[in-house]
Structures are given as structure tokens and as C-alpha cells.
Amino acid sequence: MDLRAMDLTTLAAEAFQYGYPLLTSLAAVERNRGAYNTFTHQRRFEDQRNANPDLLYSTARLDLSGGPLWLGVPDTGDRYHVLQFVDAWTDNFAYVGRRSTGSGEREFLLVPPGWAGREAPGAQVIRIPTMVTTLIGRFACQDPQDATEVHALQDALRIDPLYPQVPLDGLPHPQPGVPDDLLFFETLRRSLAAFPPSPAERRYQRRFASIGLLEPGPSPYTGAPRELRETLRDGLAAGQEQLEEEATTRHAGLVNGWTNDLHLFDYNLDYFEVGTLDTPEWTMPDRDEAHLMRAVAARTGLWGNHAYEAVAPTVHKDRDGERLTGAHRYEVRFSGSPPAEAGWSLAVYDVPGSRPVPNQLGRRAIGAATPGLRRDPDGSLTIRIQHERPDDDANWLPAPEGGFRPVLRMYQPGPPVLRGEFRPPPVVRV
């Protein structure tokens, strides 16, 4: 292989890493079959992978190609809630909710890129970086009985187009006739044109001109020479291999066996609307590093939120480094409640399925909202994790017969968490 081919292979691998988050995000948007600019609501807790035992979700895929949108949010009392805004590139650029905008009734005007209209009386303007954006709403829900109130809040969410008669562009699609092994690059080419990033990112993108990603009009890949096809295919494979390696090795160091990367989602460097923190603590100083972390986040936790909104450390091994399994009994002892202003919970999922554990109590998790928890005489809280139901099940968190992993969720985590001072206690075999 000549030097130029090697350079193009490296460039194609970089293009995969760079474009993977964008295409992964758009694919998820396309899988959501709900109409644009309307909410789809989760009404009940379901037995699904990584099901959150504390929240009910309301999601909407937004298309602002038809103009601005009104967003109405009801009064939620003191209930934890957040509406997370994620652009096409997976950047979290705004949060509306208990932490950032309070719990009172609010109205927002969501405006598309380049909008030059006037400010909206009575509404806060949120500038949307990309024409297609994902809105993820989360509402705290204690149990099925509490769900009725949450459903009413979900139904009170509203999105109203300012110009409802204007048709929407939707998502771009690859030009027909492109060979299958080049579809990634063709889809990325069309998506780069449809969802241009910040000026700083556009300068970065210039490096991809030589492999056709910035070509306007007809696809350069329909009649690509065999040598170029092989080079791009090799680069794609190399990029995929590199990302898988990074996804399994790039994480924060373990604390008592728990993984908790507080800064996995700090890769947004350009767009900061309401609720986001544009500070050195919550942004990455190096743009290349930000690109890599954005790809890793899309691979391991698409559309996750910043740690200052919520965190979810997880653990796979006990204090002695042994894999957790329902064949043994364990304890987790908190000296006090985990420092979280809007509540916390500890849940267990089976391995490798990542599904909740069916049990006699119907207990999905133990946390701040669990009735009847018993504290130790010194005020600490000991949670017992095991498969068999104990005689005293007040603090019992059911485990499956086989392997499992606990997840500790903290909503609006306190300063000790965000400063890395809070150390989740080890899981101890008893």
C-alpha cells in the first residue's frame, strides 16, 4: 500500500470515529416512529434492558426546519423532573427542570439555527444547534400508584409549531446506487450537509475533503474506483476496531469496585443554553479528546446526561474482586444517605441481560423513596443483596440466581459526588 493510501485509510478511520455519534443518534431518531414535534410517553415501568426504576420518560424528536416551536412545561411541585436537549451530534446543550429552571409552570420558544426573530414575551428562548434534536423528559415516579400523577404531568407537556403549515425536512438519506460497503460514508456526507456543526468543528471537518465527505450534489461514492473503495473499507474497519477498544478501556478508575466516569458527557464545547455549565470543570480542553469521548459515549451510553444532572455508578465485583452472583449473599453499607438533592436508588440487573430481577416483593430498587427501611443503631444503612428472601426483608434487594450488577443512581448529586469525594461503599460478601 502506498503512502497516500495509508494516509487515506487513517483519515477514513478518523472519519468513522468523528461521524459515528452523529449517525448513531440519527438512527435512534429514525427508530422513534412517533410524529415529529410531539411527545411519546412511557406510562409504566417495564421489564426491559437497563429499565430505570425511578423514572417515567417522555420523549420527542424535534424538527425545526418548519420554524420555531413553543414548549410548555407544567408545574411539577417538588417532583424531580428534567427535559434534556440533545442535538444531532449528541451534544447536551440545554436542561429544563427542577435543578435548572425550577418546578413552576414555564414556556419556552425553541428556535432553529440562524433564527433572527424577536424575543418572545413570557417565554425563554432556547437556541437549537441542529434542525433535528432529541428531547428526553424524565419524571420521578415512586411506584405504580404514583404513576397517575406522573401521567397527568406528561399529558400537560405540549409542543406547538409557530408555523404549523410549513412542511418539515425530516432526516437525510443516502443517495441510491451507493455500494453497501460505502454507505457509512455516503450517509455521513449527507448528514454533514444537513446538520453542520459549530464554526470550530467546520474547520476541523476540512480534513475529510479528500475522501469525499464534503462533496455537494451527486455522491462521489457511486462510481468510486476499486482502490478507493478498498482504502475506505479498510479505514472503516480500523475505525470500528479502535472504537471498540476505547469503549472497553477508557473509563474512570474504579472506586471500591464502582465505575463512575463523571466527565463522559463533557464533550460539548460550543453550545450552552439554559441549564448547562460552560466551566473548565465540565468541558474538555482538547477538541480531539472531546471527539473521542463523544464516540465512546455514543457507543456505551447514547444520550446520557451530564453528571451535574444525575449520575449512575455501577459495580460488577465484590470487595475481594470476585464477580457478583446470586449464589452468594452480600451487603452494601452506606454511612448515611448518598448525597443527592433529588433522591437516590440502588437497583440490581442480571448479567449479561441487564434486566431487572423479578421477585416476591415486586421491588425494583431500594432508595430514598422506599418505605420501611431500617437504619443501623449508628444511623448507617445496610442493604442486603441476595437471591433467597431473608426473614427480615425490609432492606432486601433481590438478586438473580446467576450473575448481576448493582447500579447506584443519584439525582441532582451533591457537591461531594461532583468533586469526586463521595466513595460508593464496596459490595461485601457475607
DSSP 330-344: EEEEESS--SBTT-E
Q: 259 with 76: CB under 8 angstroms?
A: no
Would you call 384 helix, strand, or coil by DSSP?
strand
pLDDT at 398: 98
Phi, psi of 386, deg, nearest 5: -160, 165
Name which of 327, 341, 330, 356 is nearest 426 in CA terms: 330
pLDDT, one tens digit for every residue, the chain (430 residues): 444 555 899 999 999 999 999 999 999 999 988 899 999 999 998 877 889 999 999 999 999 999 999 999 999 999 999 999 999 999 999 999 999 999 999 999 999 999 988 778 889 999 999 999 999 999 999 988 899 999 999 999 999 999 999 999 999 999 999 999 999 999 999 999 999 989 999 999 999 999 999 999 999 999 899 999 999 999 999 999 999 999 988 777 789 999 988 999 999 999 999 999 999 999 999 999 999 999 999 999 999 999 999 999 999 999 999 999 999 999 999 999 999 999 999 999 999 999 999 999 999 999 999 999 999 999 999 999 999 999 999 999 999 999 999 999 999 999 999 999 999 999 999 9
- How buried is residue 332: exposed, middle or buried, by Cβ count under 10 Å (0-12/13-18/19+)? buried
Q: What is the pTM of this model?
A: 0.95
Contact status, residue 32 vs residue 130, Cβ threshold 8 Å: no
Phi/psi at 65 (5° precision): -65, -20
pLDDT at 2: 46
Find out whether 178 and 219 touch, Cβ atoms under 8 Å.
yes
User: Element (H or E) spanning 328, and its range?
Assistant: none
Q: Which three cell numbers stand for residue 34?
A: 412517533
Question: Prior bond to 352 cis, omega within 30?
Answer: yes
Q: For strands 81-87 and 69-73, give the pairing.
A: unpaired
What pLDDT, on the 0 to 100 scale, is given for residue 200?
92
Pairing state between β 40-41 and 344-350: unpaired
> What whole-number distance in Å separates Cα of residue 293 and Cα of residue 246?
9
Burial of 417: CB neighbours in 10 Å, binned 0-12, 13-18, 19+: buried
Cell of 323: 464477580
The one-letter code for the residue type at 153 is L
CA distances from 118 to 49, 70, 128, 181 (A): 44, 14, 15, 47
Q: What is the DSSP letter of 105?
A: -
Q: Can you give the pLDDT at residue 123?
A: 93
